[in-house]
């Protein structure tokens, strides 16, 4: 279809809005929106199916701006197409409380699918969105009912192309032959350090070919709208490979500084902004002006999108007549609800049950719940046999032609790519029909810190099955034994770190992770066996902390988590027998959940008047929050059989007892206030 | 040169030692050593220059086993060639206190260059080692004096090839045309999840070609010793590109389970171990047997290496006659000493000096010290203008043919690749002639968590210039505002997190980072201006914590870091003026350094008897260590002008005063014990 002056006007309107918003904020990145406006115009107006009035429509095309600093591009488009993003919102760009923050945040702005800005993440999120689409199609599509056939589009820049997380995700996408994934590479040769030739001279398309992608090129992304359109059309036609289109653009197109780093991260100077407006036929004395023709053009496309949603809704209704169970399953998932009564499948344990490693307890949970929660996708970063993340009859998510799985498969082979696994989780969760879970060693969740952070910030339900969670992994040694990891993730807002001590606590961790629809979880699990505790139950564990062993007139309380709780209980026994000292033992499997309980409850667990000692086989940092004295490991671990490693660090009944006695001595004559009592409340 | 039976015997000895050691430990990875023994034999015995009796010889060839789980390969080689690794050490594989831990640790074992195991890291370390070689050659080599011409060899497996950190480093190495870097890709098609076809079907060599590497292939790495040799020889000849050689091997060669995942991470079954020994001509009833011919063969090569070192030492001596200054510089660097009196170049500040952002203060330090510490290499992950890491007349480290720098250049353009930047730091530091420093935003040091952890574990002096360290970065918003980051890295053992409050503290941070030869540092620096403090000096800041403002009969002490110290001082003023309350303000720029001071000193800073409030614009986790009450940000930040963001979170004189008054109230009538007083000492 021929392009007219109105198309050009729309493109220039986007550019000028980006100039205006960054100028008004005196902050932000005009260059990428100005360079990408032609690409985005063609993509949004010629290809993308969406209904701005119904931004959560299940089969909408997904768009991810991986170079999130260019978000004025996206905010402008959202406004122009009629999403609930007003001109006033654009005027409030990068201001406190606005829905147009400095980088796109999915939970803040209608039409933003995922939170981007930290480079490389969005690209990997797009891979997750495309996996979710292919999986949903595999599960729900039926002859005559192509319910899920949306495309996932992502724009990414040189910065994203350099980040390892994107490389990992690209390799995964190529392997998985995600035909509905189309990535538009903004090849503008500029990053913050100037010309990319200083650090980035690889052949990006060849690299993507090596990953198994279909590759295309548009040489003049500033003017060749037809070329952009043709490339996207060709990309849509290749169904057995993801496509990357390298589109060469001029950053800051129209600015006096176009094509330089000067236009990347700073507003245009006043005279430059004026000259841009003049060149594009806008009145330089006015700001935030949108010609009516642009609203009309985009409004027409939006209306077409609304009609497509209506068609789809009709199709879905018809589907409901023919495929009742699938329809019920799908509508339930889209409503964000778990199946009624699913939690009855969670295993429970008696104290007389055998000692089991919590990674195995986690496997037992997955074995029980996978059939009642069909939206749960499991997987591992190449540690399946160690993470115990795969239920017995699991089917791999794989292109059927490999003969090792199919699109409806629920087990993902992420490869040794923890960071992209975490970022793919975020894309999967954002799609709306699945719940991602996946395994690695706790120590290597750190490789994915960037993605975990965005799970938390964007309020995504993602579940890390993080096994081998301490020195208890033994012989692999300090390179694999986490020390700082629990503190790191406990300090991250809106993330639950669960470290269950036994079977009931493990079931509680899964209950909490699955029902917390806006919070990711890390389940820290052991390699070694753990006994079933006397007082544990799913119910008490769901309070995040509880009295595991009580003792009348306790002289000390020992608070602990996970594998150290049973050692603390043995220490209490030892104190009683050898020193006639009564000790209470408290299990706090999840700080975040415990903190959310009433003060009264928390004080009943950690009361005033007795000294409290914490014990955990990890950094003591942060344990002061629940204890007066801390015992842990503030150095790196050691390679050896795990019991010997515990002995080396004195995390044994004797070693704990020694510190408990020192604690009692230190507080003799003092009735210490519980650390639950605070002078003031934190802001939340 | 033809290969004989003795070569085969050496190869099989390595294999059998790997079987024996993993069997004795009942733990470990026999598969990779068995598959890689032919490759390693050819590499070590035909190519590598090293002197086992002098493992730190500056121009030795470097070897990195990136798939560190295969470390019995390396331990066996070290033993056989005559390094200080005995048969008893091999028998103590994976035992506590041994020099043969579960993964190779550079600071534990002679002959191990870098600490590997966390996948992908070693590969990126090798890139760092190769950069250091090229740089050292650029600086020190003269006509007739090729002092630095060593090769860096690395073996990496499929797991490393999948990790983003290795992809990033490979792209950098290709850009930098590191001709002396030779990577041997162990293409055995097996990872922990079994056949790599489940997740990893990309064309690895094509990908490396795209990065600009020279690529070669050896189809039968189990038998074709000649082919391996020819490939390495060809690789050596290509001087303007790094080379990757894909060597197809059989994991666990010789085992009944060879070529399967069964032989990856578990010792061989007893009968399998027996049959391996029989097949290789070893007595199945004996373990840890080394035929004398193998010692002889390898001993001969080791002697040749020793002779080469002697030649090199002679060359160096001669060099000393002709190039006195360079010789003095080099020998000083190799001795691990900084230039005499360098610290006099550190800038100092008076309270009347202007307010300056600490990222600019950091730039001022670099501007002053770069000429007196020639071994300091700076750089940035594509944030040069924001991190202020480049001194004015800096020359880029680049292949000269680009025309934008040369090999002697001291400024590295890492690209948007934080993780590989951190891992390259570790390789640079391991080389022995340079000190790496480099910048990114504090929030994105998290991308490199895996590498930072290994800096700390392997006791490497690496310096992160981590700017934009809080909500103070303003408009970029929560995606870029660290909250958990300080707590994360404070919990990591052997890492110094410095968060300086002014110019003198910034100079102190550099002093500490540069003189701590076995500890990495993160310097958390502001985007916004900070006033120069009244009581600060390099000397007091080097205690890690000190009284920034004293007040007789203080009713409260406020402890803080970085940009919040001056706000706390304003709060103390506010308390005095509005409430007639005296407050002491304490600055603790570095927890780790403060913790190392005498108890007496620490108690003088944080005395018994007055309540202490901490203030930091980040997670409060961990601050309980120095305070009774904590004020911080336990949620994500906000996008807006930075002063408004501070106001939103009430980190203002008024906001702090309110919490200080609440703290005083809460402790009224109580003389709280200083948190410096503890019931017992932590194990270190």
Say how many residues make up chain B: 684
Q: Which residues of A touch B527 (CB under 8 A)?
A: none
The verdict on A508 and A606 lying in the same domain is: no
Query: Nearest CA of chain A to the CA of B337: how many Å?
Result: 26
Digit-coded pLDDT (tens) for A364-375: 999 999 999 999
Digit-coded pLDDT (tens) for B35-73: 999 999 999 999 999 999 999 999 999 999 999 999 999
Task: Using CB atoms, pick whichever of A98, A443, A619 lies closest to residue B491.
Answer: A619
Q: What confidence score (pLDDT) does residue B574 get?
A: 98
- Residue B387 above 70 pLDDT? yes
- Residue A1 above 80 pLDDT? no
Q: What confidence score (pLDDT) does residue B681 get?
A: 87
Question: In this structure, is residue A324 part of a structural domain?
Answer: no
| Residue after which a domain boundary falls, among B501, B530, B559 | B530
A201 touches chain B (CB under 8 A): yes
> Which of A395, A477, A643 is the best residue to mutate to test the B interface, defined by the most B CB atoms within 10 Å of its own CB?
A477
B271 contacts: CB under 8 Å, gap ≥ 6: none
Q: Do B168 and A158 touch (CB under 8 A)?
A: no
Q: In terms of CA atoms, which chain B residue is nearest residue A447?
A: B450
Task: Locate the DSSP E strands across B110-180.
Answer: 152-156
> Which tokens sit at B229?
């040799």
Q: Which of B392, B426, B399, B427 is nearest to B413 (CA)?
A: B399
Question: In this structure, is residue A536 part of a structural domain?
Answer: no
Q: How many beta-carbon contacts under 8 Å exist across A and B?
A: 421
| Residue after which a domain boundary falls, among A530, A557, A578 | A530
Digit-coded pLDDT (tens) for A635-681: 999 999 999 999 999 999 999 999 999 999 999 998 999 999 999 98
Mean pLDDT of A601-615: 98
Q: How far is CA A162 from CA A114, A307, A444, B168, B416, in A?
A: 20, 40, 21, 7, 6
B115 touches chain A (CB under 8 A): yes
> Which tokens sit at B348?
């100092």
Q: Do A644 and B447 touch (CB under 8 A)?
A: no
Digit-coded pLDDT (tens) for B544-563: 999 999 999 999 999 999 99
Q: How far does Cα A280 stand from its chain's mean position? A: 40
Query: Nearest CA of chain A to the CA of B320: how many Å?
Result: 35
Q: What confidence score (pLDDT) does residue B1 get?
A: 57
Rounded-to-integer distance, Cα B467 and Cα B385, Å: 11
Rounded-to-integer distance, Cα B347 and Cα B343, Å: 9
Task: Using CB atoms, pick whichever of A200, A404, A635 lies closest to residue B415.
Answer: A200
Q: What confidence score (pLDDT) does residue B659 get?
A: 98
Does B444 show up as a binding residue in the annotation? Answer: yes
The verdict on B201 and B256 lying in the same domain is: yes
Q: In terms of CA atoms, which chain B residue is nearest residue A415?
A: B199
Mean pLDDT of B471-489: 98
Q: Do B487 and A95 touch (CB under 8 A)?
A: no
Q: What confidence score (pLDDT) does residue B683 get?
A: 72
Q: What confidence score (pLDDT) does residue B684 get?
A: 65
pLDDT-based confidence at residue A684 (cuts at 50, 70, 90) = low
The verdict on B153 and B252 lying in the same domain is: yes
Rounded-to-integer distance, Cα B3 and Cα B224, Å: 10
Digit-coded pLDDT (tens) for A148-201: 999 999 999 999 999 999 999 999 999 999 999 999 999 999 999 999 999 999
CATH code for the domain of A479: 3.40.50.970
Q: Which of B599, B486, B95, B683 is nearest to A615 (CA)?
A: B683
| Residue after which a domain boundary falls, among A530, A555, A586 | A530
B580 contacts: CB under 8 Å, gap ≥ 6: none
The verdict on A223 and A275 lying in the same domain is: yes
Pick the catalytic residue from B418, B505, B564, B629.
B418
- Residue A91 above 80 pLDDT? yes
Question: Which one has a higher pLDDT value, A682 or A129?
Answer: A129
The verdict on A361 and A498 lying in the same domain is: yes
The verdict on B351 and B406 lying in the same domain is: yes
Q: Do A478 and B95 touch (CB under 8 A)?
A: no
- Residue B95 above 70 pLDDT? yes
The verdict on A515 and A562 lying in the same domain is: no
Burial B519-551 (b: 16+ CB within 10 A, else e): bbbbbbbbbbebbbbeebebebbbbbbbbbbeb
Query: Nearest CA of chain B to the CA of A386: how many Å?
Result: 9
The verdict on B269 and B348 lying in the same domain is: no
Task: Using CB atoms, pick whichever of B28, B447, B683 lies closest to residue A475.
Answer: B28
Residue with tokens 């294999």: B15
Angle formed by the axes of helices A164-176 and B164-176, nearest 10°: 110
- Work out the percent of chain A whose per-residue pLDDT is above 90: 99
Q: Do B624 and A628 touch (CB under 8 A)?
A: no
> Which of B174, B178, B415 is the best residue to mutate to test the A interface, defined by the most A CB atoms within 10 Å of its own CB?
B415
Digit-coded pLDDT (tens) for A427-460: 999 999 999 999 999 999 999 999 999 999 999 9
The verdict on B520 and B553 lying in the same domain is: no
HEC per residue, B219-261? CCCCCCHHHHHHHHHHHHHCCCCCEEEEEECCCCCCCCCCCCH
Q: What confidence score (pLDDT) does residue B544 get?
A: 98
Question: In this structure, is residue B537 part of a structural domain?
Answer: no
Question: In this structure, is residue B330 part of a structural domain?
Answer: no
The radius of gyration of chain A from alpha carbons, rounded to an integer in Å, stands at 28
Task: Using CB atoms, pick whichever of B167, B202, B622 lies closest to residue A212.
Answer: B202
Q: Which domain holds residue B350?
A: 342-530
Question: In this structure, is residue A334 part of a structural domain?
Answer: no
Within 13 Å, how many C-alpha atoms sit on residue A622's CB side? 30
Q: How many domains does chain B have?
A: 3
Query: Nearest CA of chain B to the CA of A586: how many Å?
Result: 20
The verdict on A112 and A211 lying in the same domain is: yes
Q: Which of B473, B415, B474, B422 is nearest to B446 (CA)?
A: B422
CATH code for the domain of A646: 3.40.50.920
Digit-coded pLDDT (tens) for B267-301: 999 999 999 999 999 999 999 999 999 999 999 99
Digit-coded pLDDT (tens) for B157-200: 999 999 999 999 999 999 999 999 999 999 999 999 999 999 99
- Residue A255 above 90 pLDDT? yes
Digit-coded pLDDT (tens) for B644-659: 999 999 999 999 999 9
Q: Do B636 and A456 touch (CB under 8 A)?
A: yes
Q: In terms of CA atoms, which chain B residue is nearest residue A159?
A: B416
pLDDT-based confidence at residue B682 (cuts at 50, 70, 90) = confident
Q: Which residues of A touch B119 (CB under 8 A)?
A: 416
Question: In this structure, is residue B313 part of a structural domain?
Answer: no
> Which of A207, A215, A495, A522 is the best residue to mutate to test the B interface, defined by the most B CB atoms within 10 Å of its own CB?
A207
Q: Do B624 and A620 touch (CB under 8 A)?
A: no
Digit-coded pLDDT (tens) for B188-232: 999 999 999 999 999 999 999 999 999 999 999 999 999 999 999
CB-based contact B568:B560 (threshold 8 Å): yes
pLDDT-based confidence at residue A682 (cuts at 50, 70, 90) = confident
Burial A642-654 (b: 16+ CB within 10 A, else e): bebbbebbebbbe
Q: Which residues of A touch B460 (CB under 8 A)?
A: none
The verdict on A563 and A524 lying in the same domain is: no
Does B223 show up as a binding residue in the annotation? Answer: no
The verdict on B22 and B169 lying in the same domain is: yes
Digit-coded pLDDT (tens) for B494-506: 999 999 999 999 9
- Residue A605 above 70 pLDDT? yes
Question: In this structure, is residue B684 part of a structural domain?
Answer: no
Q: Which of A105, A38, A48 is nearest to A73 (CA)?
A: A38
DSSP H or E stretch at residue A467: strand A463-467
CB-based contact A47:A228 (threshold 8 Å): no
Rounded-to-integer distance, Cα B185 and Cα B154, Å: 8
Q: Do A625 and B621 touch (CB under 8 A)?
A: yes
Query: Nearest CA of chain A to the CA of B667: how many Å?
Result: 8
pLDDT-based confidence at residue B680 (cuts at 50, 70, 90) = very high
Question: In this structure, is residue A673 part of a structural domain?
Answer: no
| Beta strands at A629-631 and A583-587: parallel, antiparallel or unpaired | unpaired
- Work out the percent of chain B whose per-residue pLDDT is above 90: 99
Q: Do B210 and A203 touch (CB under 8 A)?
A: yes
Q: Which residues of B touch A261 (CB under 8 A)?
A: 385
Q: Which residues of A touch B666 (CB under 8 A)?
A: 677-680
Q: What confidence score (pLDDT) does residue A78 get?
A: 98
Q: What sign does the CA torsion over B388, B391, B397, B401 have?
A: positive
ipTM for the complex shown: 0.98
- Residue B77 above 70 pLDDT? yes
Mean pLDDT of all residues in chain A?
A: 97
Q: Do B494 and A636 touch (CB under 8 A)?
A: yes
Does B584 show up as a binding residue in the annotation? Answer: no
């Amino acid at each position: 279809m021929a392009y007219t002056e109105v198309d050009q006007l729309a493109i220039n309107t986007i550019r000028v809005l980006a100039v205006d918003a960054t100028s008004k904020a005196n902050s932000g990145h005009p260059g990428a929106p100005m360079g990408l406006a032609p690409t985005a115009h063609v993509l949004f107006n010629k290809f993308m199916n969406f209904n701005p009035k119904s931004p959560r429509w299940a089969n909408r095309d997904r768009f991810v701006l991986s170079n999130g600093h260019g978000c004025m591009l996206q905010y402008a488009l959202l406004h122009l197409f009629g999403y609930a993003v007003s001109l006033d919102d654009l005027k409030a760009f990068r201001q406190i409380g606005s829905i147009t923050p400095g980088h796109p945040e999915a939970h803040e702005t209608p039409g933003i699918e995922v939170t981007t800005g930290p480079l490389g993440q969005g690209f990997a999120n797009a891979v997750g969105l495309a996996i979710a689409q292919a999986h949903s199609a595999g599960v729900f599509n039926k002859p005559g009912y192509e319910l899920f056939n949306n495309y996932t589009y992502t724009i990414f820049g040189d910065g994203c192309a350099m980040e390892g997380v994107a490389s990992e995700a690209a390799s995964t996408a190529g392997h998985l032959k995600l035909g509905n994934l189309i990535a538009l590479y903004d090849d503008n040769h500029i990053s913050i350090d100037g010309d990319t030739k200083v650090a980035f001279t690889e052949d990006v398309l060849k690299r993507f070919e090596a990953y198994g992608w279909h590759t295309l090129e548009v040489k003049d992304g500033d003017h060749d709208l037809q070329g952009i359109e043709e490339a996207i059309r060709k990309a849509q036609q290749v169904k057995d490979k993801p496509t990357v289109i390298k589109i060469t653009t001029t950053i800051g197109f129209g600015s006096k500084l176009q094509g330089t780093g000067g236009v990347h991260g700073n507003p245009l100077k006043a005279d430059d902004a004026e000259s841009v407006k003049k060149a594009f036929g806008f009145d330089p004395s006015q700001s935030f002006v949108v010609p009516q023709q642009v609203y009309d053009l985009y409004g027409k496309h939006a209306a077409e999108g609304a009609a497509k949603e209506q068609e789809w809704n009709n199709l879905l209704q018809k589907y409901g007549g023919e495929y009742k169970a699938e329809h019920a399953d799908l509508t339930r998932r889209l409503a964000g609800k778990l199946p009624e009564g699913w939690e009855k499948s969670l295993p429970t344990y008696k104290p007389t049950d055998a000692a089991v490693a919590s990674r195995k307890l986690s496997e037992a949970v997955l074995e029980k719940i996978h059939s009642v929660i069909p939206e749960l996708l499991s997987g591992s970063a190449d540690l399946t046999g160690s993470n115990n993340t795969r239920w017995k009859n699991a089917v791999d998510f794989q292109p059927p032609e490999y003969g090792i799985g199919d699109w409806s498969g629920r087990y993902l082979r992420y490869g040794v790519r923890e960071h992209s696994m975490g970022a793919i989780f975020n894309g999967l969760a954002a799609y709306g029909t699945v719940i991602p879970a996946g395994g690695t060693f706790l120590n290597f969740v750190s490789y994915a810190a960037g993605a975990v952070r965005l799970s938390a910030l964007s309020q995504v339900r993602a579940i890390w099955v993080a096994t081998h969670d301490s020195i208890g992994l033994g012989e692999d040694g300090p390179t694999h034994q986490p020390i700082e990891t629990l503190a790191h993730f406990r300090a991250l807002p809106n993330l639950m770190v669960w470290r269950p001590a036994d079977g009931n606590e493990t079931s509680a961790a899964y209950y909490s992770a699955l029902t917390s629809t806006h919070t990711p979880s890390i389940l820290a699990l052991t390699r070694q066996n753990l006994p079933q505790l006397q007082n544990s139950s799913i119910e008490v564990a769901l309070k995040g902390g509880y009295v595991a062993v009580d003792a009348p007139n306790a002289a000390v309380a020992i608070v602990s988590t996970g594998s150290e709780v049973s050692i603390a209980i043995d220490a209490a026994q030892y104190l009683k027998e050898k020193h006639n000292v009564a000790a209470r033992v408290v299990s706090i499997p999840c700080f975040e959940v415990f903190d959310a309980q009433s003060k009264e409850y928390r004080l009943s667990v950690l009361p005033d008047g007795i000294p409290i000692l914490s014990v955990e086989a990890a950094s003591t940092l942060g344990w002061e929050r629940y204890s007066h004295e801390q015992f842990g490991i503030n150095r790196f671990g050691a390679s050896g059989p795990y019991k010997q490693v515990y002995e080396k660090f004195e995390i044994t009944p004797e070693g704990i007892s020694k510190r408990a006695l020192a604690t009692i001595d230190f507080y003799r004559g003092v009735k210490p206030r519980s650390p639950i009592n605070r002078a003031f409340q934190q802001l939340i």
